[in-house]
Amino acid sequence: MLTEVRRQLVAAARWLEQELMPVSCVFCGEPDGGSGRYVCDGCAADLVRNAPACRRCALPLAAASDLPCGACQVRPPPFHTVVAPLVYTYPVDVAIRQFKFHRKLWYAPGFAEILVAAADALPASIDAALPVPLHRLRQVRRGFNQAIELAAPVAQARGLPMIRNVVRRRQTPYQSGLPAAHRRRNLKNAFAVRGRIDARHVLIVDDVLTTGATCRQLALLLKQHGVGSVSVLALARAITD
Protein backbone atom coordinates (compact mmCIF):
# COMPACT_ATOMS: atom_id res chain seq x y z
CA MET A 1 0.00 0.00 0.00
CA LEU A 2 2.71 2.45 1.06
CA THR A 3 4.81 1.46 -1.93
CA GLU A 4 1.87 2.19 -4.24
CA VAL A 5 1.33 5.61 -2.64
CA ARG A 6 5.01 6.35 -3.00
CA ARG A 7 4.97 5.24 -6.64
CA GLN A 8 2.03 7.52 -7.38
CA LEU A 9 3.71 10.42 -5.58
CA VAL A 10 6.89 9.96 -7.59
CA ALA A 11 4.87 9.80 -10.82
CA ALA A 12 2.99 12.97 -9.85
CA ALA A 13 6.24 14.76 -9.00
CA ARG A 14 7.70 13.75 -12.39
CA TRP A 15 4.61 15.00 -14.20
CA LEU A 16 4.74 18.29 -12.32
CA GLU A 17 8.43 18.70 -13.08
CA GLN A 18 7.77 18.12 -16.80
CA GLU A 19 4.92 20.64 -16.73
CA LEU A 20 6.81 23.30 -14.79
CA MET A 21 10.27 22.71 -16.21
CA PRO A 22 9.94 21.17 -19.65
CA VAL A 23 13.23 19.75 -20.94
CA SER A 24 14.74 21.54 -23.90
CA CYS A 25 18.13 21.56 -25.62
CA VAL A 26 20.51 23.87 -23.73
CA PHE A 27 22.17 24.97 -26.98
CA CYS A 28 19.20 25.71 -29.27
CA GLY A 29 16.19 25.69 -26.94
CA GLU A 30 14.36 23.04 -28.99
CA PRO A 31 11.90 21.00 -26.80
CA ASP A 32 13.20 17.49 -26.14
CA GLY A 33 10.13 15.75 -27.56
CA GLY A 34 9.94 13.47 -24.53
CA SER A 35 13.49 12.11 -24.80
CA GLY A 36 14.53 13.77 -21.52
CA ARG A 37 17.79 14.87 -23.16
CA TYR A 38 19.30 18.32 -22.77
CA VAL A 39 21.39 18.22 -25.95
CA CYS A 40 19.42 17.57 -29.17
CA ASP A 41 20.84 15.39 -31.95
CA GLY A 42 21.50 18.40 -34.19
CA CYS A 43 23.47 20.28 -31.53
CA ALA A 44 25.29 17.11 -30.47
CA ALA A 45 26.45 16.75 -34.08
CA ASP A 46 27.74 20.36 -34.08
CA LEU A 47 29.97 19.78 -31.03
CA VAL A 48 33.59 19.06 -31.96
CA ARG A 49 34.49 15.72 -30.36
CA ASN A 50 37.96 15.26 -28.96
CA ALA A 51 38.64 11.81 -30.37
CA PRO A 52 40.98 10.10 -30.77
CA ALA A 53 42.90 11.64 -27.88
CA CYS A 54 45.87 10.82 -25.64
CA ARG A 55 44.67 8.91 -22.57
CA ARG A 56 47.14 10.64 -20.29
CA CYS A 57 46.54 14.29 -21.27
CA ALA A 58 43.54 14.33 -23.68
CA LEU A 59 45.60 15.93 -26.43
CA PRO A 60 43.92 15.19 -29.78
CA LEU A 61 45.79 12.50 -31.74
CA ALA A 62 45.90 11.97 -35.49
CA ALA A 63 45.05 8.27 -35.04
CA ALA A 64 43.71 6.16 -32.19
CA SER A 65 46.50 4.62 -30.13
CA ASP A 66 47.00 2.74 -26.88
CA LEU A 67 50.26 4.63 -26.42
CA PRO A 68 50.27 8.10 -24.87
CA CYS A 69 51.26 11.10 -27.00
CA GLY A 70 54.93 11.97 -27.50
CA ALA A 71 54.97 14.62 -24.78
CA CYS A 72 53.48 12.19 -22.21
CA GLN A 73 56.02 9.53 -23.17
CA VAL A 74 58.90 11.95 -22.57
CA ARG A 75 57.43 13.44 -19.38
CA PRO A 76 54.65 11.22 -17.98
CA PRO A 77 51.96 13.33 -16.30
CA PRO A 78 50.80 12.47 -12.75
CA PHE A 79 47.46 11.25 -14.11
CA HIS A 80 46.12 7.74 -14.56
CA THR A 81 43.55 8.74 -17.21
CA VAL A 82 42.42 12.07 -18.64
CA VAL A 83 39.10 12.39 -20.47
CA ALA A 84 37.88 15.59 -22.16
CA PRO A 85 35.08 14.70 -24.59
CA LEU A 86 35.03 17.99 -26.55
CA VAL A 87 37.51 20.29 -28.22
CA TYR A 88 37.34 23.80 -26.73
CA THR A 89 36.05 25.55 -29.83
CA TYR A 90 32.75 26.87 -31.16
CA PRO A 91 30.01 26.29 -30.02
CA VAL A 92 31.01 24.86 -26.62
CA ASP A 93 33.60 27.60 -25.91
CA VAL A 94 30.91 30.28 -26.12
CA ALA A 95 28.55 28.17 -24.00
CA ILE A 96 31.20 27.59 -21.29
CA ARG A 97 32.02 31.31 -21.12
CA GLN A 98 28.33 32.20 -20.87
CA PHE A 99 27.90 29.59 -18.14
CA LYS A 100 30.95 30.69 -16.16
CA PHE A 101 31.11 34.45 -16.52
CA HIS A 102 27.47 35.36 -17.18
CA ARG A 103 25.74 32.84 -14.91
CA LYS A 104 23.85 31.14 -17.73
CA LEU A 105 23.24 28.17 -15.49
CA TRP A 106 20.74 26.57 -17.83
CA TYR A 107 23.73 25.05 -19.63
CA ALA A 108 24.51 22.89 -16.59
CA PRO A 109 22.23 19.90 -17.36
CA GLY A 110 23.49 19.79 -20.97
CA PHE A 111 27.12 19.82 -19.84
CA ALA A 112 26.26 17.19 -17.22
CA GLU A 113 24.76 14.93 -19.88
CA ILE A 114 27.94 15.12 -21.96
CA LEU A 115 30.21 14.56 -18.94
CA VAL A 116 28.26 11.64 -17.48
CA ALA A 117 28.39 9.86 -20.86
CA ALA A 118 32.13 10.59 -21.19
CA ALA A 119 32.79 9.31 -17.66
CA ASP A 120 32.17 5.76 -18.95
CA ALA A 121 35.73 5.87 -20.32
CA LEU A 122 37.17 6.47 -16.83
CA PRO A 123 38.58 3.68 -14.64
CA ALA A 124 36.20 1.89 -12.26
CA SER A 125 38.70 2.26 -9.41
CA ILE A 126 37.88 5.99 -8.95
CA ASP A 127 36.45 6.42 -5.45
CA ALA A 128 36.02 10.20 -4.99
CA ALA A 129 35.52 13.36 -7.06
CA LEU A 130 37.31 16.67 -6.56
CA PRO A 131 35.96 19.74 -8.35
CA VAL A 132 38.86 22.17 -8.95
CA PRO A 133 38.47 24.65 -6.05
CA LEU A 134 37.99 28.33 -6.73
CA HIS A 135 39.41 30.89 -4.36
CA ARG A 136 36.77 31.81 -1.77
CA LEU A 137 36.56 35.42 -2.93
CA ARG A 138 36.25 34.50 -6.57
CA GLN A 139 33.51 32.01 -5.74
CA VAL A 140 31.63 34.65 -3.76
CA ARG A 141 31.94 37.11 -6.64
CA ARG A 142 30.90 34.55 -9.27
CA GLY A 143 28.15 33.13 -7.08
CA PHE A 144 29.10 29.54 -7.83
CA ASN A 145 31.99 27.28 -8.74
CA GLN A 146 31.47 25.88 -12.24
CA ALA A 147 33.61 22.82 -11.42
CA ILE A 148 31.26 21.86 -8.56
CA GLU A 149 28.24 22.17 -10.87
CA LEU A 150 29.96 19.87 -13.37
CA ALA A 151 31.31 17.38 -10.81
CA ALA A 152 28.07 16.91 -8.85
CA PRO A 153 26.10 15.04 -11.54
CA VAL A 154 29.11 12.84 -12.38
CA ALA A 155 29.60 12.03 -8.68
CA GLN A 156 25.91 11.25 -8.36
CA ALA A 157 25.87 9.04 -11.47
CA ARG A 158 28.88 7.05 -10.24
CA GLY A 159 28.02 7.12 -6.54
CA LEU A 160 31.19 9.01 -5.61
CA PRO A 161 31.66 11.23 -2.56
CA MET A 162 32.82 14.79 -3.32
CA ILE A 163 36.05 15.96 -1.71
CA ARG A 164 35.43 19.34 -0.10
CA ASN A 165 38.50 19.88 2.05
CA VAL A 166 40.89 21.06 -0.66
CA VAL A 167 41.07 24.84 -0.83
CA ARG A 168 42.59 27.42 -3.10
CA ARG A 169 44.84 29.53 -0.92
CA ARG A 170 45.80 32.24 -3.31
CA GLN A 171 43.73 33.95 -5.89
CA THR A 172 45.84 33.13 -8.90
CA PRO A 173 45.57 35.48 -11.87
CA TYR A 174 43.49 34.18 -14.77
CA GLN A 175 45.49 31.47 -16.40
CA SER A 176 44.20 31.85 -19.93
CA GLY A 177 46.67 33.54 -22.23
CA LEU A 178 49.69 32.90 -20.00
CA PRO A 179 52.63 30.81 -21.17
CA ALA A 180 52.97 27.38 -19.52
CA ALA A 181 55.98 28.37 -17.37
CA HIS A 182 54.08 31.36 -15.96
CA ARG A 183 51.08 29.19 -15.20
CA ARG A 184 53.24 26.75 -13.24
CA ARG A 185 54.83 29.58 -11.23
CA ASN A 186 51.41 31.09 -10.46
CA LEU A 187 50.12 27.79 -9.23
CA LYS A 188 52.91 26.87 -6.85
CA ASN A 189 51.32 26.28 -3.41
CA ALA A 190 48.02 27.59 -4.74
CA PHE A 191 46.10 24.71 -3.15
CA ALA A 192 46.04 23.19 0.32
CA VAL A 193 44.42 20.17 1.96
CA ARG A 194 42.57 20.78 5.23
CA GLY A 195 42.60 17.53 7.16
CA ARG A 196 42.69 14.08 5.55
CA ILE A 197 41.82 12.69 2.15
CA ASP A 198 40.16 9.28 2.36
CA ALA A 199 40.39 8.17 -1.24
CA ARG A 200 42.66 5.96 -3.29
CA HIS A 201 41.82 7.16 -6.80
CA VAL A 202 40.56 10.73 -7.12
CA LEU A 203 38.81 12.19 -10.15
CA ILE A 204 39.55 15.90 -10.63
CA VAL A 205 36.73 17.66 -12.48
CA ASP A 206 37.00 20.97 -14.31
CA ASP A 207 35.35 22.80 -17.19
CA VAL A 208 38.31 23.35 -19.51
CA LEU A 209 41.67 21.63 -19.60
CA THR A 210 44.37 23.83 -21.12
CA THR A 211 47.97 22.97 -20.27
CA GLY A 212 46.86 20.78 -17.39
CA ALA A 213 49.02 22.83 -14.99
CA THR A 214 46.21 23.30 -12.46
CA CYS A 215 45.30 19.61 -12.43
CA ARG A 216 48.99 18.68 -12.23
CA GLN A 217 49.43 20.79 -9.08
CA LEU A 218 46.31 19.28 -7.55
CA ALA A 219 47.41 15.76 -8.47
CA LEU A 220 50.82 16.23 -6.85
CA LEU A 221 49.18 17.64 -3.71
CA LEU A 222 46.73 14.72 -3.52
CA LYS A 223 49.60 12.24 -3.90
CA GLN A 224 51.46 13.95 -1.08
CA HIS A 225 48.36 13.23 1.00
CA GLY A 226 48.39 9.53 0.27
CA VAL A 227 46.18 9.33 -2.81
CA GLY A 228 47.48 6.56 -5.10
CA SER A 229 46.03 7.59 -8.48
CA VAL A 230 44.51 10.71 -9.96
CA SER A 231 42.38 10.95 -13.09
CA VAL A 232 40.87 14.02 -14.73
CA LEU A 233 37.53 14.73 -16.38
CA ALA A 234 37.03 18.05 -18.16
CA LEU A 235 34.27 19.09 -20.52
CA ALA A 236 36.63 20.44 -23.16
CA ARG A 237 40.31 20.35 -24.11
CA ALA A 238 41.84 23.62 -25.27
CA ILE A 239 44.55 23.29 -27.87
CA THR A 240 47.22 25.85 -27.11
CA ASP A 241 50.32 24.81 -29.02
58 vs 134 by CB, closer to Zn ion: 58
Q: What are phi and psi of 79, to 5 degrees?
A: -115, 145
3-state secondary structure of 153: helix
**DSSP secondary structure letter of residue 125:** T
Q: Considering the rule CB under 5 A, would residue 61 count as an interface residue with Zn ion?
A: no
Only segment of 5-13, 63-71, 103-111, 165-173 that touches Zn ion (CB under 5 A): 63-71
Q: Considering the rule CB under 5 A, would residue 209 count as an interface residue with Zn ion?
A: no
Checking 151-154 for CB contacts under 8 A at 24+ apart, the result is 151/205, 152/112, 153/109, 153/112, 153/115, 153/116, 154/112, 154/115, 154/116, 154/119, 154/129, 154/203, 154/205, 154/233
Binding letters toward Zn ion, positions 5-44, x by CB under 5 A: --------------------x-xx-x---------x--x-
68 vs 133 by CB, closer to Zn ion: 68
Least distance between Zn ion and beta carbon 98 (Å): 15
Only segment of 6-14, 57-65, 179-187, 196-204 that touches Zn ion (CB under 5 A): 57-65
17 vs 41 by CB, closer to Zn ion: 41
Q: Is the peptide bond before 52 cis (omega within 30 degrees of 0)?
A: yes
Q: What are phi and psi of 66, to 5 degrees?
A: -80, -15
107 vs 191 by CB, closer to Zn ion: 107
Instruction: Give 55-122 as a 3 state SS string.
Output: CCCCCECCCCCCCCCHHHHHCCCCCCCEECCEECCCCHHHHHHHHHHCCCHHHHHHHHHHHHHHHHHC
- Restricted to residues 64-93, the positions that interact with Zn ion (CB under 5 A) are 68-69, 72
Count of residues near Zn ion by CB under 5 A: 13
Q: Considering the rule CB under 5 A, would residue 56 count as an interface residue with Zn ion?
A: yes
43 vs 154 by CB, closer to Zn ion: 43
Note the residues at the interface with Zn ion (CB under 5 A).
25, 27-28, 30, 40, 43, 54, 56-57, 59, 68-69, 72
